[in-house]
Structure formats: C-alpha cells, structure tokens
Chain A
Amino acid sequence: MRDLTLTTSDQLKKRHAKETRFQWYGRIAILISLSFLVFMFVAIFFRGAGAFQQTKIGLDINFDQTLIDPTGTGDPEIIANANFKPLITKSLAQAFPEVTGRSETRALYKLISSGSVFELGNMVKENPELIGTSQKIWVTATSEVDLYMKGKIDETISQDLRRLKDRDIAWVKQLQESGVIKRKFNTALFNNGDSREPEMAGILGAALGSFFSLLVCFLISFPLGILTAVYLEEYAKKNRITDLIEVNINNLAAVPSIVFGLLGLSIFLNFFNLPRSTPLVGGIVLALMTLPTIIIASRSILRSVPNSIRDAALGLGASKTQTTFHHVVPLALPGMLTGTILGMARALGETAPLLMIGMVAFIVDIPKGVTDVATSLPVQIFLWADSPEKGFVERTSAAIIVLLIFLVLMNLLAVYLRRKLERRW
C-alpha cells in the first residue's frame, strides 16, 4: 500500500512538473518574441537618435559685397548664383592662421560640408541685408566630423583606415577648445530632399512622396472598397459571379506585394504610359493592393449593422438604395473609415511594389504634386541602408523612427475613431 502511494505520487510529481514546464514554454515563447521586438526598437533607436542632432561649426563669416554681388545690383539671381566658397575658406584661414599650403587648406575646408555653400546662399537670398556685414554663422560640418563628435569614430585604429585623419581630429579638438563646434538640432533632416552627402540628406522629399502616394491610394481605394463591400453585402445575390468575386478578393489579399508592382510596371507604365516614378502610379498600385483589406474589413462592419434597421427603413417605404445609403452605410461609415486607415498604414510601409515602378531613384527635388518624380519614406530607408557612407546608418535609423511614428499615429487615429464613433449593437 505504502509503495503504491509512493509510486503514484512520484508519477503525479512528474506529471505536475511537466505541466509547469509546459506553461513555461509558452511564457518563454512569448518572452522571446517580445524581446525581439524590444531589441529591434532599441537597436534602431540607439542608431538613429543621434541623427536628430547635427554638428555645426561656428565661423565668423564676412559677407563681402565684392564676392557675392560685386556690382551691387541686389539682384536675387546674381546672389543665388554667387560662389560662397571663398567666404568659408577665408573665414577658416582666419580661424586657423597656422594652416598654410594647398593640401592643408583643402583638408581643412573638408571639415565643412560641401552643402554649406548652398545654405549660405539661401541665407543671403532670404536676407540680402546680410551683405557687407560680418556674422557668426553655424555652418554644417561634414559627416565625418559629425560622427567623430558623436563618438562614433575609433581614434585608436590606424589613420590610413579612417577618412578623418589625425590632423583633422586635432583641428576639431582645437575648434572644441574655442567652443565653436556644437551639436544642434538637425533641421536639414526635415527640410531637405535626398543628397549624396549624409549631413545634407533629409526626408522631406520622401515624406511628401509618401503623402501624395497615400492621397491617391485613399481617393481610389476608399470609395471603391466601400462600394464593393456594399454590393457584396447588401445587393449581390448568392450566385456564381458573387462567389467568383469573393474568392477573387480573398486570393488578392494573399498575392505577394511585389506582384502588384509588376502589374503597375506592365499595365500602367508600359501600356497606359503613365509617368514613371510618380506618386500617381505608386498610389494606384498601393490602392489595388490595399483594396482587398478594405473590402474585407468593410464587409464585416456592414454585417454587424443589425437587420432591424434595414427592416424598419424598408417597412416605411424606403427603396433598397435609400435603405442602404441613408441608413446602413452612414452607420457603418466610421468602422469602414477605421479599416481604411489601417489599410493605409500598411500601404505607407510598403516598399517592394514601389521599387518596380521606378520610385527608387536618387531624387533631390521635393515633389510638389502627384505627377512629380518622387520616392517614399520606406524606399528612402532602403536607399540609405544601401549607401556605403557610414553617416547614412544614422540617417536610415532616424528615417525608420519617423516612419514608425507616422504608423503609430495612424493606428492611434484608427483606435480613437473606433472608440469615439463606432457603435456597438
């Protein structure tokens, strides 16, 4: 008897141990999955946080009239086309009187971003009264100096392997001592288009490209999605054509996104000759891609509108159309809008189809409409991730952070609308 209880309790112990183990497998699986999420966010955040600041060098710049506008016309055209490089070299020569010789001065000038001459040009164009005065201007430092200031360059490795030589670092330290090198908020990141120089590259062009694409996508997919959902839920008789449409929509939702890009390439670009690389085509492709999601979401919302509403309207003599569009659709609209916003959020993150229709070029100009060549935020991330310059790693992560913020905002908007407007039956 005693033995028997012993054996059973032994067995029971084993079984209970197994039970606890099993539960822990589940907990660990969730923990691992979520820690991937956290690890990814942390890794990207730490790489990208630095990019919101940019190293600037304070130079005493003499806006010499003879260099900018020798004849004193005040013509913005002449000012815009003036060469601002001597202004910077002169100021540098003053700050570092001990640096002489061609190669030395050229190396010194390389601490300053080559884009800073355009910054100076724009500054003078906007404030012509600067001409003839001497000002302390914070000009953008080159990406290498920026990386050094952020502690991302290893000084201990041989200088042959670095682009920033020991001599350059000595100069930067000299600037640091006189307090004229500082990290300031990176306005270029939010005001510029793409650039070959990491310190001048911004996401405004890409963000606007995304915006225009999403605008086109919304204008097409929202009405089409809702009308299709209304037809399938409220009008369609159960027959083979309806079945076909339904199967079709479910399968379209599973088609790899890159295939939609090929559709755009061969139909919209090569057959209809729509302009290549534009948000117009991008938006159409994204619309076709998100359409199934919107239809499926809208249908489930329409299904949740109780039949009593339809019966009441029909009973009072409303026609089918009146019942649907005066009563059912308005009640379902907030929910359908929520579904559409979620679909848009997915379209915002989509990259592959846009690569196929040529929205993957190096584009400096900021798009002004749906027919201007443009990229989009995720494509910009892809392009920067591919760039060999070290300075772009930071920019890429910063662009990802901005993209994720947009996604979070869209999702929060959807949740807010759902809480605020959606009715529970």
Chain B
Amino acid sequence: MTKTMTKSMDLRLRHANKSTQLKELAIKFVLIASSLVAILTTAGIIVSLSYEAFRFFAKVPLSEFLFGLDWSPQTAIREDQVGSSGAFGVIPLLTGTLLISFIAMVVATPLGLYSAVYLAEYAKPRTRNWVKPLLELLAGIPTVVYGFFAALVVAPIIRGMGSGAGFDISSESAMAAGLVMGIMLIPFISSLSDDVINAVPQALRDASLGMGATKAETITKVVLPAATPGIMGSLLLAISRAIGETMIVVMAAGLAANLSLNPFEAVTTMTVQIVTLLTGDQEFDSAKTLAAFAIALYLLILTLGLNIIALKIVDRYKRKYA
C-alpha cells in the first residue's frame, strides 16, 4: 500500500491525522471539563457549607450546637439586652425532624410495601400498567402542593377530629405534616421495593409453592425474607428523603422549637429553621444566619450517610442474586 502512495499524499494524510488528533483531544477535554462540573458542585456544597459552619462554630461552641436542648436563635438588638444572646442547641430541631419522619414512615411503609407486594406478585400486567404510573404520580407532585394540602386541608381535619374527641390540637402539628409526607413517600418505597421483589429468583418461589405453601405463605416466608436487605435499603432512602424534605414542613409543621414527642403539638425541623433563618431580613455574618449553614451541614451529613448505607445495602443485595 505505502509503495503506491506518493510522498505528498503520505504527508497530507499525516497532516490530516494530526489535526483530527488535535480535534479529538479538544473534544475529550471539553467532555472531561463538563463531567467535572458534578465534582465541582459537590466540592462547592461541602466547601461553602463547612466554611460558613466553621465561622458559626467560632461563635458558638460545637458541643453547645450538637447537644444543646434549647433553640432560640434571636440575637440581641442592643449589646446590653438580657437573655437574648441566642441559644443554638440543635436537639429540638433534630427530634422534630425525626418525629415527623417517623410519622411519615409509619404511614408510608405499610402502604408502600403492601402495594409493592401486590403489584409484584398478584396484579395482572394490565392492572400493573395502570396502577404503577398512578402511584408514581404521587412522587411527581411538587412538594409545595403537598404543603398546601397539609396546611389547609389535613391540619383542619385533624384539629376538628381532636376537638371532637375533646383534645386541643394546635393548628400546626407534626401529625399533619408527617401524614402528608407519608403519602409523598409511598411511591419511593413501592417502586424500589417492587424492583427488589422482582429481583428475587423465581426458583425460590417455585420451590416454596412446590412444597405446598400458599402464595401468601411463599411471599411472607420466602420472598420477603430474601428481599429484606433491598427493602431496608429502599426504606432508608425514603427516610433520607423525609429528613431533607422542606416545603411540607415549612407550611405545616410550625416554627416553635418544642422539645416534644407529642405528634399533636407544633414542632419545628432542621429544614424549617434553615428557611426561617435565611428568608426575610438577614444580616450576614451574624450567628443567626451562619447557624443555617451549620444545620445544613448536619443535614447533609445525615442524608448522605443514610444514602450511602442504603445504596451499599441495595448494591450488595443485587449482586447476591445477579
């Protein structure tokens, strides 16, 4: 081949190769640069949150933040004002967050799991094709809509039921927010669990059915135990969602930092406090605004931790049956 080629042609080819090579390199560079945006975003989140949080911890000691039982972030307007140095204990916010998440999970877990089991094991393909997208619709509704629903529809109903039974329930209660958040979480649990149940090998079911077990017995005694790790993973993902959820609690949970486990009282959450600290009038550099970043850092660590554990569990489970 090369023998028949003239020298100039050879040169031209080599030249062309060089320019295409350059082009390839440039394109590869652009591609790498754009994938670095994701890393930069993470870095930006971690750096900005930690930077502001460290400035906060210069004013308020870390131990007071982590273990303090009082949350009242008002800072003094005058230097000599009494009792307004602000208390920045995150415990009431954490319990509020966990209480609402717990209520949400109590609602979402049975509904999501039973739906998943029915859809995966019993439903005809036609029913499944209808019901699954409808359930997933619940996940597509903006959270501000859930918040409105919780504050203006569910909370008055709960209040009305409470006064009917002789209880005095505050109009902003952990119950309303948790209940509605639970509805939002149903599809997260049902679709992930559905996938997980479908991944259980058919051979396990066949063996159990062959031994004379009914379908329900097969599911509760064989399929679900086999799928447990994956289901745990999906529940953890849902919890992480619940902890980071903002709009529902901002609109329905309340602002008062009560250290209480009573679901009919108003509690506040970490996300609610971030929003209240950073909207409205804010002076930057005050402990009050910086506190929001400290809470956000805590929130990020919590959700990411849960997420990493959940993904690990699901991953290991998938590998087991792959």
Contacts and interface: CB of A to CB of B under 8 A. Distances in A.
Interface of A: 15-16, 18-19, 21-23, 25-30, 32-34, 36-37, 40, 43-44, 47, 223-224, 227-228, 230-232, 235-236, 244-245, 248-252, 254-260, 262-263, 265-267, 270-271, 288, 291-292, 295, 319-321, 325, 345-346, 348-352, 355-356, 358, 360, 378-379, 381-382, 385-386, 393, 396-397, 400, 403-404, 407, 411
Interface stretch (B65-73, B215-223, B225-233): B215-223
A29 B115 contact: yes
B45 A259 contact: yes
Contact of B147 (A33, A319, A385, A411): A385
A393 B219 contact: no
A18 B20 contact: no
Contact of B311 (A27, A244, A250): A250
Contact of B44 (A43, A250, A263, A358): A263
B186 A33 contact: yes
Contacts of B167: none
Given A15-B217, A33-B115, A257-B244, 20 more contacts: A22-B220, A27-B118, A30-B119, A33-B111, A37-B137, A40-B145, A224-B34, A227-B34, A231-B35, A248-B38, A248-B39, A256-B300, A259-B296, A266-B49, A267-B48, A270-B284, A292-B38, A320-B24, A351-B144, A358-B279
B244 A258 contact: yes
Given A228-B38, A349-B141, A262 B110 contact: no
B42 interface: yes
A249 B38 CA distance: 6
Interface stretch (B2-10, B88-96, B200-208, B302-310): B302-310
B171 interface: no
A227 B48 contact: no
B278 interface: yes
B279 A230 contact: no
B63 interface: no
**Residue of B23, B48, B110, B134 contacting most chain A CB atoms (<10 Å):** B48
B274 interface: yes
B284 to A, nearest CB: 7
Contact of B35 (A16, A227, A351, A356): A227
Contacts of A270: 284
20 contacts: A22-B216, A25-B118, A26-B117, A26-B122, A29-B112, A33-B138, A33-B183, A37-B134, A37-B138, A228-B34, A232-B35, A245-B36, A254-B303, A262-B274, A266-B51, A291-B38, A352-B246, A356-B278, A381-B144, A385-B147
Contacts of B308: 251
Contacts of A236: 35
A349 B148 contact: no
Nearest to A262: B296
B289 to A, nearest CB: 10
B30 interface: yes
B143 interface: yes
Interface residues of B, number: 84
B149 A350 contact: no
B52 A245 contact: no
Contact of B151 (A25, A27, A320, A385): A385
A288 B41 contact: yes
A21 B215 CA distance: 12
SS of A interface (majority): helix
B81 interface: no
Interface string B227-269: 0000000000100100111110011000000000000000000
Contacts of B274: 258, 262, 356
B173 interface: no
A33 B153 contact: no
A252 B42 contact: yes
B114 A25 contact: yes
Interface in B26-77: 27-28, 30-32, 34-39, 41-42, 44-45, 48-49, 51-52
A403 B20 CA distance: 48
Contact of B278 (A22, A36, A265, A403): A265
A44 B148 contact: yes
A400 B148 contact: yes
A381 B148 CA distance: 8
Contacts of B135: 30, 33-34
Residue from A256, A325, A400 having most chain B Cβ neighbours under 10 A: A256
A386 B219 CA distance: 47
Nearest to A28: B114
Given A16-B214, A30-B135, A393 B152 contact: yes
Contacts of A231: 28, 31-32, 34-35
B309 to A, nearest CB: 11
Contact of A381 (B141, B145, B311): B145
B118 A30 contact: yes
B40 to A, nearest CB: 9
Contacts of A255: 45, 244, 300, 303-304
Contacts of B115: 26, 29-30, 33
Contacts of A43: 149, 153
Contact of B279 (A15, A27, A325, A355): A355
B275 interface: yes
B140 A345 contact: yes
A291 B42 CA distance: 12
B251 A382 contact: yes
5 closest pairs, A vs B, by CB? A26-B118, A256-B244, A349-B142, A29-B114, A22-B216
Nearest to A358: B279
Contacts of B220: 22
B317 interface: no
Interface string B124-143: 00000001001101101111
A248 B41 CA distance: 9
Contacts of B49: 259, 262-263, 266
B251 to A, nearest CB: 6
Contacts of B190: 33
B142 A262 contact: no
B271 interface: yes
Contact of A258 (B42, B137, B271): B271
